[in-house]
Structure 1
Amino acid sequence: MRFKVTADNFPLVLAAVFTVFFGLLAINPVSRAVWIAEVIPVAFVFLLLVATYRWFRFSNVAYGLMAVWLFWHTIGGHFTFANVPFGWISELLGSQRNHFDRIGHFSVGFYAYPMAELFIRRKLAGPIVTTFFGLFFIMSIAAGYEIIEWWYAVAEGGEAGIEFLGSQGDIWDAQKDMLADTLGAVVTLILFWVFGKRWGSR
C-alpha cells in the first residue's frame, strides 16, 4: 500500500521525520556537552507539541514554521553553531562570521505565528492584543535565552561554554540575536494577518 502525505497526517509525518533526524544527529556530535545543552529546549518544545496535539491542533503552516527552528537548532547542536558548515553564506555576505545561528534566531520568531493562531481560534483576545502578545512573547523568550546562554557560559567555562554562547567574538552578539528573533516574529505576524485565512489558520 502506497503511503501518502496529506493535510490530515502532515503533523504526524513531520514529527516522525524530525524524530529520525534528531536521532541521527545525536550520534557523535562535535561536543557532547554542548549538544546536551542545545537540545534541551528542542526536546522540550517538541514534546510539548506532541503532548498538546489532541488538545489543540495548529494549522499545517504553523507546524511547518515551528519545525524550521526544531531542525535548524538540532543541526546547530550537532556541529555547535559557530562550526556548522555554512561558509558559502558567509562568503556571499562578505563576512567571516558564521551566520547559521542568526538564521536560527530569526526562525525563533516563527513561533509568533502559532501563538497568534492559538489566541484567535480560542478567542482569547482581539487582533491588536494578539499581535502584541505574539511579538512580546518572542522578545521575552529571546531575552531569557540570552541570559541562559550567559549563565551557562560562566558556569561551564572552557570551550563548551564559549561554543554554547556562540558570540564568535562579537560583543553585540546578544543584541543582534534578539533583533533577529524580533524580526522573525514581525515577519510571521504579518504573514498571519495577510495570509492566515487563506492558509487555514483561522
Structure 2
Amino acid sequence: MFVALFIWSAIEPHSRAVWIAEALPLVLVFAVLAWLYRRFRFSNAALLLMSVWLCWHTIGAHYTFAEVPFDWFNELIGSERNQFDRIGHFSVGFYAFAIAEWLTRRRHCGTGLALLFALFAIMSVAAGYEIIEWWYAVAEGGDAGAAFLGSQGDEWDAQKDMLADTLGAVFSLGLFLWLRPDRTATKSVP
C-alpha cells in the first residue's frame, strides 16, 4: 500500500524540490522497517501506528504540507492555517509505541525506562528535524525553502511542531500501556 502511495506522490508533485526533501525520510524509515521485518515482528498496533505517519507524510510530500487539500478539517475546527502538517507531526509521535515495544520485548530495559526513552527519542527526533527544516530552508531559499519549512507565517511553528510530536508520543505510549504488546506479542526472531 505504501509503495503505491509513494509512486502516486512522485507523479507531478507540487514542488519537485520539496518532494525530494520530504521523500528522503520516508525512504529511510521504510527501508529500516523493511530491514527489521525479518529480525523483529512488531505488533499489529505498532505497524498500524507507524504506517499512519508513512502515509500522512507521503501525501504531504506530494502537495507540500501547507497545500494539502484539507480545508474541510480546517473549517471544521475554525482554523485559517492548514493543520495537515500539525497532525503529521502528531503522528511522528506514534513511533514511540514501536520504540517502547522494541525495548521491552527485547528485554533491553523495564517498562518505565522504555517509556521514558521512547518519549525522549521522539522529542530528540522532533528537535533534530526542525533544525534540518531550518537548514534546508536557508540553503534552498525561495519558494521551495519556504514550502519545506511549512511555517505558514507562524513564528512559533517549530515549537508547536515539536509539541505535536511530543503529544503524539504521549498518546501512543498511553496506548502502549493499555495494549501492552510486550506481554501479548508473538515471540520475536532474535
* TM range, smaller chain: over 0.9
State the match for 2:23 in structure 1: 39
8 Å CA contact 2:90–2:165 kept in 1: the answer is: yes
- Find the partner of 1:193 among 161, 169, 177: 177
State the match for 1:153 in structure 2: 137
1 CA distance for matches of 2:184 and 2:111? 17
> What is the CA-CA distance between 1:196 and the residue it aligns to?
2.2
8 Å CA contact 1:61–1:199 kept in 2: the answer is: no
**Over aligned residue pairs, what C-alpha RMSD do you find?**
1.3
Calculate percent identity across the aligned residue pairs: 63
1 CA distance for matches of 2:46 and 2:184? 10
More off after superposition, 188-197 vs 113-122? 188-197
- Alignment of 1:122 with 2:106, yes or no, is yes
> What is the CA-CA distance between 1:49 and the residue it aligns to?
0.5
Equivalent position SS for 2:79: coil
State the match for 1:183 in structure 2: 167
Runs in 1 of length 4+ with deviation above 2 angstroms? 196-202
- CA 1:169–1:62 in structure 2 vs 1: closer, same or farther (change >3 Å)? same
1 CA distance for matches of 2:76 and 2:53? 22
8 Å CA contact 1:59–1:201 kept in 2: the answer is: yes
- Find the partner of 1:97 among 77, 81, 87: 81
2 CA distance for matches of 1:64 and 1:199? 18
Alignment-mate amino acid for residue 112 of structure 2: I
- Alignment of 1:83 with 2:67, yes or no, is yes
Q: Report Cα offsets for 1:6-50 as digits up to 9, x if no partner.
A: xxxxxxxxxxx1111111121000000000000100110001110
Alignment of 1:17-56 (within 5 A): 17-56=1-40
TM-score where L is the length of structure 2: 0.95
> What is the CA-CA distance between 1:201 and the residue it aligns to?
4.2
8 Å CA contact 1:117–1:201 kept in 2: the answer is: no
State the match for 1:169 in structure 2: 153
2 CA distance for matches of 1:80 and 1:103? 14
> What is the CA-CA distance between 1:200 and the residue it aligns to?
3.6
Alignment of 1:98-113 (within 5 A): 98-113=82-97
Alignment-mate amino acid for residue 178 of structure 1: M
Equivalent position SS for 1:179: helix
Equivalent position SS for 1:119: helix
Matched residue pairs, number?
186
State the match for 1:7 in structure 2: none
TM-score where L is the length of structure 1: 0.89
2 CA distance for matches of 1:198 and 1:49? 18
Gaps of 5+ in 1: 1-16
Alignment-mate amino acid for residue 186 of structure 1: V
8 Å CA contact 1:119–1:125 kept in 2: the answer is: yes
8 Å CA contact 2:74–2:80 kept in 1: the answer is: yes
1 CA distance for matches of 2:135 and 2:48? 31
More off after superposition, 38-47 vs 53-62? 53-62
